[in-house]
Amino acid sequence: MQIIKDKQIIDDNWSYVSDDEELRAGNISVSLARWKKDKQQLLHHDGKLGVRLEPSDSIDEIAEDLKEIELIELNFPAFTDGRAFSHAWLLRSRHHYTGEIRATGHYMLDQLFYLSRVGINAFKLEKAEELPVALSTLNDFTVSYQKSIN
C-alpha cells in the first residue's frame, strides 16, 4: 500500500496491530490503550513504534513518551469529527513533536490542505487510486491568512 508523506507518494512500511493481535517485528503502531498497557514490552520491540489516537484520546497521556514514538496516527472515524485537527496542532506546537503525524480513517480529500496546515505530514487513504488527486490538493491554496504549523 502507498501513502502520501511529505508531499510525495511512497510505500507504507508501517502496520497497525490491533489490541487482540500478537505483536510482530517491523514498524508497528498500536492503540493508546495498548501503549499504556504494554509500554515496557513495546519499548523492547524490534522495529519502530507508533501510536494511533482516537478523537477521544488525550495527547497528554503520551506527552512524556513522544521521544520513543516515531509515528502518531490520528484516526478519523468520521470526516465530521475534527478533534484530530486539534491533536495535530497540539503535538506540533505545544509538545514540539517532530515525527510523522499521519491521518487515517474517514476524511475528505478537501481536508488535506487544512490537515497539513495543523501539522499532519502523512495521509493514508482508503482508495489508493485517489493518491494523485489527493497529492494535488496539498497545493490548492497559495496564500493563507491564519497562522499554521508549516
pLDDT digits (tens, 9 = 90+) for 96-135: 999 999 999 988 888 888 899 899 999 999 888 888 888 8
Q: Which long-range contacts (CB under 8 A, 24 or more apart) does 9-16 make?
A: 9/131, 9/132, 9/135, 12/124, 14/48, 14/50, 14/71, 16/52, 16/73
The rounded distance, in Å, linking the Cα atoms of 150 and 44 is 33
pTM exceeds 0.85: yes
* CA of residue 87 relative to chain centroid, distance: 10
Strand pairing category for 71-76 and 49-53: parallel
Question: Residue 141's pLDDT band (boundaries 50, 70, 90)?
Answer: low
Domains of the chain: residue spans and CATH? 2-7+19-137 (3.20.20.70)
Backbone angles phi, psi at 44, to 5 degrees: -100, 10
Q: Which residues fall within 8 angstroms of residue 37, CB to CB, at 6 or more apart?
A: none
Give the whole-number percent of the chain exceeding pLDDT 70. 93
In terms of Cβ atoms closer than 10 Å to its own Cβ (0-12, 13-18, 19+), residue 52 is buried
Higher pLDDT residue, 83 or 141?
83
